[in-house]
Amino acid sequence: MAQSVTIRRPDDMHLHLRDENTLRTVLPYTVRQFGRAIVMPNLKPPVTTVAAARAYRERILAAVPAGASFEPLMTAYLCDNTDPEEISRGFNERVFTAVKLYPAGATTHSEYGVTCTSKVEKVLDVMQELGMPLLIHGESTEAGVDVFDKEAVFLDDVLKPLLEKFPALKVVLEHITTEQAADFVDADRSGRLAATITPQHLLLNRNAMFTGGLRPHYYCLPVLKREQHRLALRRVATSGSSSFFLGTDSAPHERGAKEAACGCAGIFSAPTALEAYLTVFEQENALDRFEAFASENGRRFYGLPPNEGTVTLTRERNDAPRSISPGDNKSIETFMGGGELSWRVSEERAS
């Protein structure tokens, strides 16, 4: 039984950092283990311009603990009226790494999102030309679609036609949760389609939201699915396929916003995510494939160089806190915090 695992320093290809006190509180947990992260733009107001992304990047860099190195990779929030010129300028000036498409109304702070992909075709043309990735929250917003079917319906109604219309556009289907999405991405041989997978969707099925009562801290979007889907995600994540990579979707919300009559979607996993993923790879007898999923597949898809240095995880009780506080007597619950995991990041080496 392996007692320690050392991998090249990984990247988190889907991360919510928020802003101000929350940013300053949550960022060190990511920086501790990840070299880079794709930072989501769903602030209030959303990050839609090059200037806003530059300013946000500066605030993130100012919150990196002294002596640590970390590169935030910024994204633009796509709106119906996004100017293609703003996107190409941001990409060429190395401010925007990618563009995030939220279907309007699909999730947290998505109200400025895209109402119909036909509205953004000029932007997609430009991105296709530039080789700039489109990151998609893949859930249907059609009225009447069952909440557990939203991802599968999105694949048929939106994603497949979009991929046909833009045959060279690079696309990441973010935080996939279903067998349909896993099989669809797995079957693609073009190399321009990939998917991120969160730790919670690999470790939990939808029962977790209802054990003994309503469990708001296991509520995220896309929502946890039934066991068959969790097993499909574990299969593709640990298969060695380069189309799947790590993206935590760590999404902090303070306790009061989650334990509420209308609770927010999002699971804060930054302090424990790497160990949670490793737990899955160990359970699936795939420790030899962990590094590709965490440190190689994503950065290759984005055309980034490998990170310098390594992280070592050792088999010991994980002492990540059960919750953290951004001040003002608020707290944010940690996914699998408080000793639930038996791996721990014990060491980082610069190179």
Q: Which residues are catalytic?
A: 249
Cβ proximity of 18 and 81 under 8 Å = no
Beta pairing, strands 330-333 & 244-246: unpaired
**Residue 296 contact, options Zn ion, ligand DOR, none, Cβ 5-8 Å cut-off depending on partner type:** none
Does residue 53 belong to the site contacting ligand DOR (CB under 6 A)?
no
**Do the Cβ atoms of 56 and 47 come closer than 8 Å?**
yes
Tokens of 189: 């041989």
**Residue 33 near residue 10 (C-beta atoms within 8 A):** yes
Q: Could you say which residues in the range 218-277 bind ligand DOR, by CB under 6 A?
A: 220-221, 251, 265-266
State in angstroms the smallest separation of the CB of 175 from ligand DOR: 7
Contact (Cβ atoms closer than 8 angstroms) between residue 297 and residue 231:
no
Q: Considering beta carbons, is residue 33 or 107 the nearer one to ligand DOR?
A: 107
Rounded least distance, CB 147 to ligand DOR, Å: 13
Closest CA to 251 of 294, 292, 199: 199
Which of 137, 225, 258, 299 is the binder for ligand DOR (CB under 6 A)? 137
Instruction: With CB under 6 A as the rule, give the number of residues binding ligand DOR.
Output: 10
Q: How far apart are the C-alpha atoms of 242 and 256, rounded to whole Å?
A: 39
| Closest CB 18 distance from ligand DOR, rounded Å | 8
The strand pairing partners of 99, in sequence order, are 76, 134
Q: Considering only residues 211 through 270, tell me which ones interact with Zn ion, judged by CB under 5 A.
A: 249
Q: Does 334 help bind ligand DOR (rule: CB under 6 A)? A: no
Which residue, 34 or 218, has its beta carbon nearer to ligand DOR? 218
CA–CA separation, 46 and 125 (whole Å): 22
User: Which residue lies nearer to ligand DOR by CB, 82 or 108?
Assistant: 108
Residue 28 and residue 31: Cα distance in Å, rounded?
Answer: 5
Residue type, 175: H
Give min distance, CB of 117 to ligand DOR, in A: 18
Residue 213: partners with Cβ closer than 8 Å, 6 or more residues away = none
Tell the smallest beta-carbon distance from residue 276 to Zn ion (Å).
16
From ligand DOR, Zn ion, none, interface partner of 107 (C-beta below 5 to 8 A by class): ligand DOR
How many angstroms separate the first and last alpha carbons of the chain?
27
Q: Which does 42 bind (CB under 5 to 8 A by kind): Zn ion, ligand DOR, none?
A: ligand DOR
Minimum CB distance to ligand DOR smaller for 221 or for 320 = 221
DSSP state of 348: E
* Binding region for ligand DOR (CB under 6 A): 16, 42, 107-108, 137, 220-221, 251, 265-266
* Binding region for Zn ion (CB under 5 A): 249
